[in-house]
Structures are given as C-alpha cells and as structure tokens.
Amino acid sequence: MPFGLKNAGATYQRAMLKLNQTKCTFGARSGKLLGFVVSEKGFEIDPDKKHNPGVWDEEYQKTFDNINAISLDKPLILCLAVFGNSMGCVLGQHDESGRKERAIYYLSKKFTECETRYLSIEKLC
C-alpha cells in the first residue's frame, strides 16, 4: 500500500460497501453529462431531459459550448478537493498543445451537518 498504510485495504472495502451502486459506473462506453449523452458516436441530447427544441437560451448555449469543447481523443481530468464541510471538483482536459489544462465544468457542494461527520474516505468517494 502507498505511504505504508497497512489498513488501506480495509478502509477501501468499508467505503466500497457504503457506496450507492446505482450511482457508480466504471468502464462505461457512454454516459450522461450536462444534459447530453456522451458516447463513441459523439454528443446527443439526453432523451430523459425535457429539452424544448423551440427554446434556446444562454444557459443551453453555454452548456453546448462547454460540451463542444470536449475532445473525445484526449482523456478527461477530474480534480477533486474535499474539506471538512464542503467539496469541489473540476472536470478538465488538456488543450491542443497538451501543456495547459482547460476547465470544462465545475461543481461544488456544501455538506449537510450529517455529512460533515463522514470519514474522509467516504467524503472522497
């Protein structure tokens, strides 16, 4: 185990038993992101969302521009920061030069009083 942690395996197992399996996806060929379905075919509008084809506002345009900026040829980068009472994450990708990371989407959450008492590994998961 890294850093000489002897109980990391047990901590991992404990965290894995508490994850909501309906919300976890590993090795997926497609997924939903910002109201779109992302797959090997490209981007399609999520059929579960109630998109009104006649209304295209600034929010949809901003989301579309962010989605359009994602290159399927390059891996996505997830930066996650977890604190005692909140967490934040940024989904990013390297630019065309491969030297700079470009933010695509940002998400933050303030933990409820109960969530602040979770173990650090549980907050991370």
pLDDT tens profile 24-73: 666 667 777 767 777 777 777 777 766 666 677 787 777 777 776 677 77
Q: How far from 117 is each of 20, 74, 84, 87, 123, CA to CA, in Å?
A: 18, 37, 8, 14, 9
Do the beta carbons of residue 12 and residue 119 sit within 8 Å?
no
Q: What percent of the chain has pLDDT over 90?
A: 7
3-state helix/strand/coil string of the chain: CHHHCCCHHHHHHHHHHHCCHHHCCCCCCCEEECCEEEECCEEEECCCCCCCCCCCCHHHHHHHHHHHCCCCCCCCEEEEEECCCEEEEEEEEECCCCCCEEEEEEEEEECCCCHHHCCHHHHHC
pLDDT at 1 over 50: no
Average pLDDT over the chain, rounded to an integer? 76
Domain-by-domain residue ranges, the chain?
Answer: 2-124
Distance CA 66, CA 107 (A): 14
Q: How far from 55 is each of 51, 52, 60, 82, 83, CA to CA, in Å?
A: 8, 6, 9, 37, 39
Q: Which residue type sits at 112?
A: T
